Amino acid sequence: MIKQLFKIVWNRKRANFLIMMEILISFLVVFLVMVFGIYFIDIYAYPLGFTYKDVWAINIDRGAYNPNEDKTKQLEVVKQLIQVAKDFPEVEAVAGINVIPFDNGEWRTGFDFAGKNYSPAINLVTDDLSQVLGIKLLEGRWFNKEDDTTKEMPIIINQTLSQALYGSESPIGKVFSPGESGRLYKIVGLVSDFRDDGELVELKLYMFERLNLNPNPNPSPAELETMRSLNNLAVKLRPGTPAVFEEKLAKAFLSIAKDWSFNIQTLEDIRYKRMKKTLAPILAAAIVAVFLMIMVGLGLTGVLWQSVTQRIKEIGLRRANGATRGKIYYQILGELLVITSIALLVGTIIVIQFPLLGFLDFVNAKVYIITLLVSWGLISLLTLVCGFYPSNLAAKIPPAEALHYE
Amino acid sequence: MLKNYIKVAFLVLMRRKFFTFISLFAVSFTLIVLIVVSAVFDHVLSPVAPEVNANRTLGIYWGEMKGPESTSNGNPGYGLLDNNARNLPNVELMTIFTEASPAISYIRGQKIVSLMKHTDGEYWQILQFNFLEGSPITTEDEKNANFVAVINKSTKEKFFGKESAVGKFIEADNQNFRIVGVVEDVSQLRYSAYAEMWVPISTKKDPGYKTELLSNCTALLLAKSASDFPSIKAELALRMANFQFPAEFKNEYKNIVCFADTPLEAFSREIFGSTEVNPKSSRLVAIALGLMVLFMLLPAINLININISRILERSSEIGVRKAFGASSWTLVGQFIVENLILTLLGAIIGFIGSILVLQIINHSNFLQYASFQINYRVFFYGILTTIFFSLLSGVYPAWQMSKLNPIEALRGGGLR
């Protein structure tokens, strides 16, 4: 039966080749759109590691960098800003943070560990951040006053980094040197994750370093330099705080630092903008792909229909020789299935080359296999729907009429 | 002869309406996508108001500093441009302005974020804005650090509604500006001209911008004509090669580059990260054309399949024509004309459809103040694309048709 089908398909190879090409390219289009869609669905599912509800991000613009500016005074102003914000009854907590979640910027630090080089994203934050963003720890503790006196720099890492450095061992209390002379990192806490690029960016190595706004009475130039990079505050508001509070807060800030500018945004807004930027091109591609598939579907239906009317003689002969309607029906569908399978096979071979060539290599094997299965399913469904009406038409051909056609 | 072909073409189109519908759907959909894409490109790169002088303007959009251990790149800073890009040969005018960045105002308890550009007086001479009222910021305003501002129409409506705005005051980022002019909205995609509020660069809160090497500035250079571009680029490259770093950067960085580019060159520099004086913008165009053809492939194969089906249906007609002595070439010509008529019909639907799609994008507010239009350039690209697509999908079926055996064809037989 199957051998017979292949023979029929082979006999009409020229007409079938073009249909096969059409299905093959449709498969590639569907695959490329689906691979992005499924990739994003997959990484969206991982926990974010913090909550962004009722949190405002305030960017501090201190103007152009000037090597001779009075950094000690600037630090005092930042501390005043934090205190002023905390004093409002609408505010639950305030923290300093170097890189705002969902924002495009990123900081990385590089170090050698056990002979391998790592470059995790790093964020400098103050003690109150866990309160502002509701960060939960898996093990250990968040930064606090205890850290004031330790000579090692306290850090908190995420699970991905912990896995990379220590495998399944607990990282708490471990001390290592990041390479710079005299500096030692001490891991005090482990968080499941802190996805500061949002839900649509791959998991990455991540660590927090403690930013101490009350260093010893005479902070070193390096410490002050670090403070200079503190350009963002995160403010947690009481639920239900009206938007007009923003003006009150901004006025209060500007009365302290007249020469600075402040840009206040909700984290929700920043997240939305970032997501829109990532998803808009994929959405546009998906809309185009849907229309392409409608077009292919209509075209395929037309071509199959035409080929059935052309083969009335052949089908009539089969019917006269005792083939049932069902057999004719399944013959036409079967032929289509053979063409589709060949197209899908070729398509799969092409698609498997992509990661080997370094294209789409950010996608893991799980996503790749799911995408393959979904694309196979969608294309098979499309061709079956297209073949339904023409096969029905063929099955209904009465043998007598068909034979006398000539 | 041609008249006859056209008549036959319409008869054939009317005969099997389902096939005609599928063909027209495929053609018009393909063209809608391609026309919309070319309208967007045209909107970003073509010389339209306020960039009326775009064809003799170069921009310095990007710079890079390199040292033994650090690399830093981004927009050039005011200091770098002011000290090194002024008085280049054959440059009539030069402006330095900042990127548009949010400035915040509160009015009646409501927050208004306006994207603000800091500019000089020359900016308004190189770019010809459409003033609804008032006048631009002048060189004097910049020199004396006058707190004056030009705003766009939408911002005016947010602050003052329907009333006239000139002479009134606006508070933005805790600074008070007197409004001197109101201009038409400019699209977000026009990098140099886009902003909602423009103020003199000398009103910046912190004067430190004057010495910055890399920061958030851009310079536009208005040349006497496009033929002066090479000499301007060469001189800028020479000045960069002789650049002396100020003391505080001397240890960290050893050399610095920045380039005067046309918009297309700047775009390809951003994509390929090239640091040559003349980035290969032809490569970008080639890639764009390649992608267009690739996109057309599926619709074309779809149309080829449908066309072959239609030809098979008409095999007895073709048999008769062959039997009466029509040559293969005549038949090929006839079919190509028929296909061209079909695709042109599709193009009409395609143009109507793309106007609708562009209207939807314009009204969705997805890109601020962007208004994509079908102008004569886009129309021309559209027609060119249609003809190319028509040939792509018509030549193979026509060739197949001309090969039909007349005897077989007369009996209604088809291709093997």
Q: How many CB atoms lie within 10 A of CB B140?
A: 10
DSSP class of residue B73 equals: E
Mean pLDDT of A203-208: 93
pTM of the model: 0.84
A229 conformational bin, left if phi > 0, alpha if psi -120 to 50, beta if neither: alpha
B306 touches chain A (CB under 8 A): yes
Does residue B164 contact residue B132 with C-beta atoms inside 8 Å? no
Domain edges within chain B: 2-47+283-410, 68-253
- Model pLDDT, residue B288: 84
Q: What does the pLDDT read at residue A405?
A: 56
Range with lowest mean pLDDT among A216-230, B85-99, B261-275, B277-291 = A216-230
Per-residue confidence (pLDDT) for residue A181, from 0 to 100 = 63
Q: Which long-range contacts (CB under 8 A, 24 or more apart) does B231-237 make?
A: B231/B89, B231/B90, B232/B58, B232/B88, B232/B89, B232/B90, B232/B91, B232/B260, B233/B58, B233/B259, B233/B260, B233/B277, B233/B278, B234/B277, B235/B88, B235/B89, B236/B60, B236/B84, B236/B85, B236/B88, B236/B260, B237/B277
Say if the Cβ atoms of B102 and A254 lie within 8 Å: no
Q: Are B111 and B243 in contact (CB under 8 A)?
A: no
Query: Exposed, middle or buried by CB within 10 Å (0-12, 13-18, 19+), for B7?
Result: exposed
The fraction of chain B above a pLDDT of 70, given in percent, is 99
Query: Nearest CA to CA, how far is A236 from chain B (Å)?
Result: 19
The encoded tokens of residue A89 equal 């009854």
Task: Return the bridge partners of B222, or none.
Answer: B57, B93
Q: How many domains in chain A?
A: 2
More confident residue, B202 or A308: B202
Distance CA B143, CA B203 (A): 10
Q: Give the closest of B103, B207, B298 to A292, CB-based.
A: B298
pLDDT, tens only, B141-157? 999 999 999 999 999 99
Segment holding B83, helix H or strand E:
helix B78-84
Is the pLDDT confidence value at B290 over 70? yes
A167 and A254 share one domain: yes
The angle at the Cα of A64, spanning B173 to B216, to the nearest 5 degrees, equals 80
Looking at residue A69, its amino acid is E
Is residue A46 within 8 A of residue A202, CB to CB? The reply is no
State which residues form the domain around A389.
2-46+274-403
Mutation target for A interface from B174, B313, B358, B407: give the one with most A CBs within 10 A: B174
Kindly state whether residues A93 and A232 are assigned to the same domain: yes
Judge if A255 and A307 occupy the same domain.
Answer: no
Percent of chain A with pLDDT over 70: 97
Confidence of residue B123 (pLDDT cuts 50, 70, 90): very high
- Containing A293, the helix (H) or strand (E) segment is helix A267-310
Beta strand A91-97 with A55-61 is: unpaired
pLDDT: which is higher, A225 or A195: A195
Residues A231 and A184 in one domain: yes
For residues B240-262, average pLDDT: 88
pLDDT at B232 over 80: yes
pLDDT of residue A293: 94
Selection from A114, A236, A230 nearest residue A174 by Cα: A114
Confidence class of residue A7 from pLDDT cuts 50, 70 and 90?
confident
Query: Nearest-CA neighbor of A264 among A86, A102, A73, A61?
Result: A61
Instruction: Write down the pLDDT at residue B330.
Output: 85
- Which residues, 6 or more positions from A325, have their beta carbon under 8 angstroms from its beta carbon? A319, A395, A396
Both tokens of residue B21?
């519908």
Q: Is B204 on the interface with A (CB under 8 A)?
A: yes
Give residues with Cβ within 8 angstroms of B325, minimum separation 6: none
Nearest to B104 among A64, A263, A292 (CB): A263
Top pLDDT among B167 and B3 is at: B167
Contact A247 B109 (CB under 8 A): yes
Last-in-domain residue among A229, A259, A289: A259
Are the CB atoms for B354 and B31 separated by under 8 Å? yes
Cα–Cα nearest to B32, from A26, A21, A282, A292? A292
* Backbone angles phi and psi of A27, in degrees to 5: -60, -45
Q: Which residue has the higher pLDDT, B272 or A120?
A: A120
The whole-number pLDDT of residue A73 equals 85
Beta bridge partners of A51: none
Q: Quote the pLDDT of residue B324.
A: 87
Round to whole Å and give the CA distance between B12 and A395.
28
Interface of B with A in 124-153 (CB under 8 A): none
Distance from CA of B30 to the nearest CA of A (A): 8
Q: Is residue A54 part of a domain?
A: no
Query: Percent of chain B having pLDDT more than 90?
Result: 43
Partner residues linked to B150 by β-bridges? B181, B198
Residue of B nearest to A66 (CA): B208
Q: Tell me: do A316 and A206 sit in the same domain.
A: no
How confident is the model at residue A321, as a pLDDT?
A: 85
pLDDT recorded at residue A149: 82
Higher pLDDT, residue A283 or A62: A283
Query: Contact B411/A406, CB-based, under 8 Å?
Result: yes
Q: A404 forms bridges with which residues in the sheet?
A: none
B405 has pLDDT over 80:
no
pLDDT at A346 over 70: yes
What string of H, E and C letters represents the secondary structure of A89-136? CCEEEEEEECCCCCCCCCCECCEEECCEEECCEEEEECCCHHHHHCCC
Mean pLDDT of chain B: 88
Residue with tokens 């409004």: B179
Report the pLDDT value the prediction gives residue B416, as an integer from 0 to 100: 42
CA distance A55 to A84: 17
A-chain residues near B205 (CB < 8 A): 63, 258-261
Task: At B262, list the tokens.
Answer: 């046309």
Helix then strand then coil, % of chain A, to nearest 5: 55, 15, 30
Q: Which residues of B touch A309 (CB under 8 A)?
A: 313
A358 pLDDT above the threshold of 90 = no
Question: What are the tens digits of pLDDT across the range B159-207?
Answer: 999 999 999 999 998 899 999 999 999 988 888 999 999 999 999 988 8
The answer to whether residues A97 and A244 belong to one domain is: yes
- Give the mean pLDDT of B327-336: 86
Tell me if A337 is assigned to some domain: yes
Test B111 with A66 for CB contact under 8 angstroms. no
In the listed set A208, A230, A259, which residue is the last one of a domain according to the structure?
Answer: A259
Q: Phi and psi at residue B262, in whole multiples of 5°?
A: -80, 165
Is the pLDDT at A205 greater than 50? The verdict is yes
Sign of CA dihedral A299, A305, A307, A309: negative
Q: Nearest-CA distance from B207 to chain A in Å?
A: 8
One domain for residues A95 and A34: no
Using 50, 70 and 90 to split pLDDT, how confident is the model at B308?
confident
Alpha carbon of B328: minimum distance to chain A alpha carbons (Å): 20
Q: Are B173 and B103 in contact (CB under 8 A)?
A: yes
- Among A194-198, A224-228, B128-132, the minimum mean pLDDT is found in A224-228
**Most B CBs within 10 Å, among A303, A350, A379, A405, to test the B interface:** A303
* A78 and A226 inside one domain: yes
Report whether pLDDT(A305) > 80.
Answer: yes
At A141 the pLDDT is 94
Chain mean pLDDT for chain A: 88
Per-residue confidence at A180, pLDDT binned at 50, 70, 90?
Answer: low
Considering only CB atoms, A296 lies closest to which of B19, B211, B302, namely B302
Q: Which of A231, A259, A287 is the last residue of a domain?
A: A259
pLDDT in tens, B22-77: 889 989 999 999 999 888 888 887 777 788 888 899 999 999 988 877 778 889 99
In the DSSP assignment, the letter for residue A146 is: G
Q: What is the per-residue DSSP string for A332-396?
A: HHHHHHHHHHHHHHHHHHHHHHHHHTTTTTTS-HHHHHHHHHHHHHHHHHHHHHHHHHHHHHHHT
Neighbours of B98 (CB within 10 A): 21
What is the per-residue pLDDT for A67?
67
- The verdict on residue A177 lying in a domain is yes
Give the tens place of pLDDT for each residue, B365-375.
778 888 888 88
Helix (H, G, I), strand (E, B) or coil at A15: helix
Same domain, A106 and A247: yes
CB pairs under 8 A between A and B: 109
Neighbours of B144 (CB within 10 A): 12
State the pLDDT at residue A372. 95
Residue A262 has pLDDT above 50, yes or no: yes
pLDDT at B1: 72
- Res. A152: pLDDT tops 80: yes
Helix, strand or coil, per DSSP, at residue A189: strand
Nearest to A244 among B21, B109, B303 (CB): B109
Which band of pLDDT confidence, cut at 50, 70 and 90, is reported for residue B399? confident
User: Is A90 in the same domain as A216?
Assistant: yes
pLDDT at B413: 54
How far lies B86's CA from each of A357, B94, B222, B232, B234, in Å?
A: 47, 7, 11, 11, 14
Tokens 């079967």 appear where?
A: A334
Does residue A315 sit in the same domain as residue A375? yes
Q: Would you give the end-to-end CA distance of chain B in angstroms?
A: 31
ipTM: 0.81
Q: Rg of chain A's alpha carbons, rounded to an integer?
A: 32
For the stretch A129-150, pLDDT in tens is 999 999 999 999 999 988 888 8
A110 and A215 belong to one structural domain: yes
Mind listing the pLDDT tens digit for each residue in A155-165?
999 999 999 99
pLDDT score for B412: 57
3 state DSSP class of A234: strand
Strand pairing class (B197-200; B110-119): parallel
Residue B111 clears pLDDT 90, i.e. is over it: no
- Please judge whether B211 and A264 are an interchain contact, meaning their C-beta atoms are less than 8 angstroms apart: no
**List of chain B residues whose C-beta atoms are within 8 Å of the C-beta of residue A67:** 248
